[in-house]
Chains A and B, each alone.
Chain A
């Protein structure tokens, strides 16, 4: 299985700040990388698919980039509702696998 390593595991940040979360795959995944947000109530929603495509309804302050084994999610200016858990996930090969998560916390 492809291992996904996310960093940092915890990210204290302030409102309006720009933040970046990284995700590294144990082998190349050809841009088959998605990002999800999980709120404290457990609700999970997709943010970005295929590295850099914004899911419908997701604010444009979210963006994704990367290639090969290294990918990132950037939030350009943090809003109160952005403080949550974030997960990367590869679907280049079966089974899909997830990163360990990044907890975005209010500083």
Chain B
């Protein structure tokens, strides 16, 4: 069955970076884009951007340009999101999700990865 398995919770200091992984299984990895979504209590669900897993091309929500960097390792069917220059506002649960394109429904989601930024 289709699965997106995300890496575990992260505790990071302000100013540092974290890299979250999303390992796909149960389907042809390069046939679907991987999107990343941020969830906080205050802002709800926010779309960060997507990566074309076949070409490596990316598109970011303007709000997250310079904050998030999306990459992919086709050999391991894994997508990554690096968050840089962390501040407490980056504390959230981050989800990966697959879709045929960004304008298709996201039909499978990872379990979420919690990131806490605290000194």
Interface residues in chain A, defined as those with a beta carbon under 8 Å from any beta carbon in chain B = 32, 34, 36, 42-46, 49-50, 55, 87, 89, 91-92, 94-101
B111 within 8 A of A: yes
Contacting pair B109 A43 (CB below 8 A): yes
Picked from B47, B62, B103, B106, the residue with its CB within 8 Å of the CB of A92 is B103
Picked from B47, B95, B105, B112, the residue with its CB within 8 Å of the CB of A95 is B47
Q: Count residues on chain B whose CB falls below 8 Å from chain A CBs.
A: 22
Q: List 13 A-B contacts (CB under 8 A).
A: A42-B93, A43-B109, A43-B111, A44-B95, A46-B107, A55-B107, A91-B102, A91-B104, A94-B59, A94-B103, A96-B47, A98-B44, A98-B45
A99 to B103, CA, bound (A): 16
